[in-house]
């Protein structure tokens, strides 16, 4: 997760919340009102400091990446020029796309769900498109399964299948996504694991697998709000993630069960993270660069 590393505050205040300095708060309001027909911009030191940060080329690229992340773009358009930001932009765009398929929290409205192949294609295009534009993978590898004889550029537990073996694994994965009556947790866990072990694409497989978990647990009603940060645990404890996916790749019953249990833990951590964020937002204790506890 990208952190801007910027915080303006006077330390813990009433109830442990972080309070903005009055001058910074006023400057922030005035910065937000600048533009045609707005009051004159504040020229105080805090305002100038905020504007100086915003003008830094790294911040400009980061802000641009976020704005562009949810916009439709051709793969031939220029990326941010920063490989890390390109990757973040792809994940951001894919996450935003998932929300368009989520049910209405205040009613019974349920958007039409994409067919499995269209789902994989859309998510992989979002994730891999920016890194392809940056030249890290070929453009024709975006949203297209690996061709015979090609090896994925990301590692995994053991060698990735190829040829007919890969086609069979990908076909089974696609059927699993819409398999009627499949338990929600097991479906999400196995789809994730197959993406990470079969690695049907040249790059971005594990990332797409984690995105699919969020989509499936919301679609299937296991976590119907869609707010759980389901990929947080994998990044927080990568060694446990690698150990669990290796257990799945062993092909044993115990190994598969261990993986499904790990996936359940990851979803639970994601729900807890979402609750923390929601409480912080309601309490007004959020700060740039992180969430105060």
User: What's the pLDDT tens digit per position in 62-117?
Assistant: 555 545 543 455 544 545 556 666 666 666 677 777 777 677 665 567 788 899 99
User: What's the pLDDT tens digit per position in 219-232?
Assistant: 988 888 888 888 88
% of residues, the chain, pLDDT over 90: 41
Residue in 78, 173, 185 with CA at minimum distance from that of residue 116: 173
Q: Which of 133-137, 160-164, 209-213 shows the lowest mean pLDDT across its residues?
A: 133-137
Calpha distance 280→293 (Å, rounded): 7
Look over the chain and give the mean of its residue pLDDT values, rounded to a whole number: 75
Calpha distance 82→262 (Å, rounded): 33
Q: What is the CATH number of domain 114-291?
A: 1.10.3290.10
User: What's the pLDDT tens digit per position in 35-76?
Assistant: 433 344 555 565 555 556 667 776 666 555 545 543 455 544
Q: Which of 122-136, 141-155, 277-291 shows the lowest mean pLDDT across its residues?
A: 277-291
% of residues, the chain, pLDDT over 70: 62
Region 196-215 average pLDDT: 95
Domain boundaries, the chain: 114-291
Handedness of CA 191, 197, 200, 204 (dihedral sign): positive
Global pTM value: 0.67
Q: How many CB atoms lie within 10 A of CB 151?
A: 11
Is the pLDDT reported for residue 235 higher than 50? Answer: yes
């Amino acid at each position: 997760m990208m952190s801007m590393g910027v915080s303006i505050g006077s330390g813990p205040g009433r109830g442990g919340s972080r309070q903005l300095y009055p001058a910074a708060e006023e400057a922030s309001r005035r910065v937000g009102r600048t533009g045609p027909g707005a009051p004159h911009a504040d020229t105080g030191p805090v305002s100038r400091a905020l504007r100086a940060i915003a003008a830094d080329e790294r911040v400009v690229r980061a802000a641009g990446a976020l704005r562009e992340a949810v916009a439709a773009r051709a793969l031939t358009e220029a990326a941010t020029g920063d490989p890390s930001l390109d990757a973040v932009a792809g994940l951001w765009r894919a996450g935003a796309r998932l929300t368009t398929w989520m049910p209405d929290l205040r009613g019974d409205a349920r958007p039409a769900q994409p067919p499995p192949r269209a789902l994989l294609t859309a998510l992989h295009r979002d994730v891999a498109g920016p890194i392809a534009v940056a030249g890290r993978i070929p453009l024709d590898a975006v949203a297209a399964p690996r061709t015979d004889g090609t090896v994925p550029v990301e590692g995994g537990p053991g060698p990735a299948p190829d040829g007919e073996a890969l086609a069979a694994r990908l076909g089974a994965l696609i059927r699993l996504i819409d398999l009627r009556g499949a338990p929600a947790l097991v479906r999400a866990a196995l789809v994730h694991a197959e993406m990470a072990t079969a690695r049907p694409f040249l790059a971005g497989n594990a990332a797409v697998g984690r995105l699919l978990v969020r989509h499936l647990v919301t679609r299937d009603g296991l976590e119907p709000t869609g707010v759980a940060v389901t990929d947080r645990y994998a990044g927080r404890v990568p060694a446990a993630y690698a150990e669990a996916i290796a257990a799945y790749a062993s092909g044993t019953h115990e190994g598969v069960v261990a993986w499904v249990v790990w996936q359940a833990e990851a979803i639970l951590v994601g729900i807890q993270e979402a609750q923390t964020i929601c409480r912080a937002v309601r309490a007004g204790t959020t700060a740039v660069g992180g969430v105060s506890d």
